[in-house]
Chains A and B, each alone.
Chain A
Amino acid sequence: MTKTPLPETASQTAGPYVHIGLASEAAGLERSLSVLGACIAGPDVPGERMVIEGQILDGAGVPVTDAMFELWQGDATGKLAGSEGCASGFHGWGRTAADFETGRWRFETIKPGPIGNQAPHLALWIVARGINIGLHTRVYFDDAAEANAVDPVLLSLPEDRRASLVAQKSGDRSYRFDVHLQGNFETVFFDL
Chain B
Amino acid sequence: MSGYRARDWAVQPPALTPAYKTTRLRAPSAPLVRMSEGCVPESGPVFGHGDLGPLDHDLLQNYASDGAPIGERILLHGRVMDQDARPVPGTLIEIWQANAGGRYRHRNDDYLAPLDPNFGGCGRTLSDDDGHYRFHTLRPGPYPWPNSENSWRPAHIHVSVMGSGLPQRLITQLYFEGDPLVALCPIVQAIPDKGAIDRLVARLDLEAATPFDRLAYRFDIVLRGSRATVFENKPEGM
Contact = CB atoms under 8 A, between A and B. Distances in A.
Asked if A and B bind, the verdict is yes
Interface of A: 1, 3, 5-22, 24, 27-29, 31-34, 36-37, 58-60, 62, 64, 66, 70, 72, 74, 80-83, 91-93, 100, 116, 118, 123, 125, 127-136, 152-153, 156-157, 161, 181-183, 186-192
Contact of B104 (A12, A20, A32, A92): A20
B83 A8 contact: yes
Interface in B93-127: 94-96, 104-109, 120-124
B43 interface: yes
A189 B33 contact: yes
Given A1-B228, A136-B166, A20 B121 contact: yes
B106 A8 contact: no
Contact of B26 (A32, A130, A152): A130
B33 A92 contact: no
A124 B33 CA distance: 15
Interface in B11-69: 11-15, 17, 20-30, 32-36, 38-41, 43-47, 51-53, 56, 62-63
B28 A191 contact: no
A8 B5 CA distance: 10
B221 interface: yes
B32 A190 contact: yes
B32 A123 contact: no
A93 B45 contact: yes
29 contacts: A1-B229, A8-B11, A8-B223, A9-B222, A10-B172, A10-B200, A12-B187, A14-B160, A17-B104, A22-B160, A27-B105, A33-B56, A34-B52, A58-B25, A59-B25, A59-B29, A72-B44, A82-B46, A100-B108, A129-B26, A134-B170, A152-B36, A153-B39, A181-B26, A191-B32, A191-B34, A191-B35, A192-B7, A192-B166
A29 B104 CA distance: 10
Contacts of B170: 9, 11, 134
Contacts of B21: 130
B191 to A, nearest CB: 5
B149 interface: no
Nearest to A67: B26
Nearest to A65: B108
B44 A118 contact: no
A14 B158 contact: yes
Interface of B: 2, 4-5, 7-8, 11-15, 17, 20-30, 32-36, 38-41, 43-47, 51-53, 56, 62-63, 81-85, 92, 94-96, 104-109, 120-124, 158, 160, 166-167, 169-173, 187-188, 190-191, 193, 195-197, 199-200, 221-225, 228-229, 238
Contacts of B15: 131-133
Contacts of A118: 39
A119 to B, nearest CB: 11
A156 B36 contact: yes
A10 B25 contact: no
B44 A93 contact: yes
A127 B222 CA distance: 20
B146 to A, nearest CB: 11
Nearest to B42: A80
Contacts of B160: 14, 21-22
Given A10-B197, A33-B62, A127-B171, A133 B158 contact: no
Interface pairs A-B: 6 shortest CB-CB: A130-B22, A21-B96, A28-B107, A5-B83, A130-B26, A191-B32
Contacts of B41: 72, 74, 80, 123
Contacts of B53: 33-34
Given A3-B84, A12-B188, A132-B23, 14 more contacts: A6-B84, A6-B225, A10-B11, A11-B171, A12-B13, A13-B20, A64-B26, A82-B238, A135-B28, A152-B38, A153-B39, A156-B33, A157-B33, A190-B34
Nearest to B15: A132
A24 B122 contact: yes
